Amino acid sequence: MLLLGIGGGLLLAGGGGDEKREVFLEPVNSATNAFTEPAGTDVSAMPATTTTTPPTTSAQAGIPVVSGATAGLYGGSLNQASCDPEKLVTFLEQNPDKAAAWAGVVGIRPSEIRSYVATLTPVVLRSDTRVTNHGWQNGRAVPIPAVLQSGTAVLVDRYGQPVAKCYCGNPLSAPAPVSNPTYTGKRWPQFSPTTITVINQSTTVVNVFVVVDVQTGREFGRPAGTTGASDGPAPAGTTPSTPTTTTGPNRSTTTTRPPGKLVDGAYTIALVPGSYGGCGEVTAGEQVQMTVQGDTLVIIGADGVTYTGSVERTGGTFRWEGSEGAVSAVLDGRIDNTGYVTATFTVTGSGQSCSIPVTGQRN
């Protein structure tokens, strides 16, 4: 364990420099640390889509960002589902350890998986899409910064956000900001860093998704939470939109769920993999446990080192300050109404300072 687990301090020796992180390429019909048996079928030959966003090869350029409610964003087959939600649910119900980890990623209790999945909609990605994939490794969900190839079958929630990869059952979440990305893994012929898309949550609930038939190119309507039997004409007045571009180092202006409240209890926090100067290297799977009780927040590293400090809670945001020896740490975070936490650790000591993004979930 790197962060919060180095005996007398949090920092490792070493210089700073540009932040570099791996983003893993995931072609169709592939799985990385699969959660479940296949519960869907990808589309191997997906027609390319275009946008009005000017292409760029700069790693510092913005990437296209589109709302999950955008008409024509997703593909599918009329009257057919690319995913089998029942198969996914049945597998998770038969594997309680995986069910608990899966539920933790999407922000629900394991007992709510069946009812939650019933609200999801099976579709197919029509563009190479940045996500945080979560693979099953060493008995837990491990975040994997990834690009899913166009043609990947996914389940999306009522806000149009991809939340599960059907081929392997892995839960998905929004991508963490990445600067200077290094794309690793098997590249497909059409892959280009300039054509990656980020899908943001819609600001409103989507009742009917306007889906493009992958065979005919025609649009049809798929009511949210249905698997093809209720497909019909696209709602009148819908017009496919094109992604817009944000600026900055491959960052998206994420539309978030409504704010929640940091309630007393236990949370599991995952560190976003990458190189963080004086903090050293964070690898996939590194986690800490966080417990909140009143004005006290306790963080326990994987090696058992404990850090205790005071926490201030204001609406859906919070701030914690703690120390261990000569090293001090600050955790600035936000929690949404599902109990999902996004935060930043800022660590200072030995004349160095660095910040590490983290994500987490109320247990």
For residue 89, pLDDT over 90 is answered with yes
As a whole number of angstroms, the distance between CA 132 and CA 175 comes to 5
- Domain limits of the chain? 21-242, 265-362
For residue 78, pLDDT over 90 is answered with yes
Report the SS3 class of residue 76: strand
For residue 257, pLDDT over 60 is answered with no
Q: Using DSSP bridges, classify how beta strands 153-156 and 121-125 pair: parallel, antiparallel or unpaired.
A: antiparallel
Q: Please give the helix or strand (H or E) that residue 99 lies within, else none.
A: helix 96-106
Decide which of 136 and 340 is more confident.
136
Q: What is the pLDDT, as a whole number, of residue 238?
A: 55
Residue 285 neighbours by CB distance under 10 Å: 18
Q: Please give the helix or strand (H or E) that residue 306 lies within, else none.
A: strand 306-314
For residue range 309-321, what is the model confidence (pLDDT) as tens digits? 899 988 788 888 8
For residue range 276-325, what is the model confidence (pLDDT) as tens digits? 666 666 665 567 788 999 999 988 876 667 788 899 988 788 888 887 77
Judged on CB neighbours under 10 Å (0-12, 13-18, 19+), 190 is: exposed
In the block, tokens 């048996």 appear at 37
CATH architecture of residue range(s) 265-362: Beta Barrel (2.40)
Q: What is the pLDDT, as a whole number, of residue 30?
A: 92
Q: What is the pLDDT, as a whole number, of residue 258?
A: 66
Phi, psi of 4 (to 5 degrees): 60, 30
Q: What is the pLDDT, as a whole number, of residue 267?
A: 87
| Structural contact between residues 171 and 140, judged by C-beta atoms closer than 8 angstroms | no
| Structural contact between residues 222 and 121, judged by C-beta atoms closer than 8 angstroms | yes
For residue 20, pLDDT over 80 is answered with no
For residue 342, pLDDT over 90 is answered with no
Residue 216 neighbours by CB distance under 10 Å: 10
As a whole number of angstroms, the distance between CA 246 and CA 264 comes to 36
What is the separation, in whole angstroms, between the first and last Cα of the chain? 21
For residue 86, pLDDT over 50 is answered with yes
As a whole number of angstroms, the distance between CA 140 and CA 39 comes to 20
> 162: which 2 tokens?
């991809």
User: Which residues lie across from 344 on neighbouring strands?
Assistant: 332, 357
Decide which of 93 and 305 is more confident.
93
Q: Give the C-alpha distances (Å, rounded to integers) separating 44 from 47, 152, 250, 343.
A: 10, 8, 27, 37
Q: Using DSSP bridges, classify how beta strands 197-200 and 74-76 pair: parallel, antiparallel or unpaired.
A: unpaired
Angle between helices 85-94 and 96-106 (to 10 degrees): 120
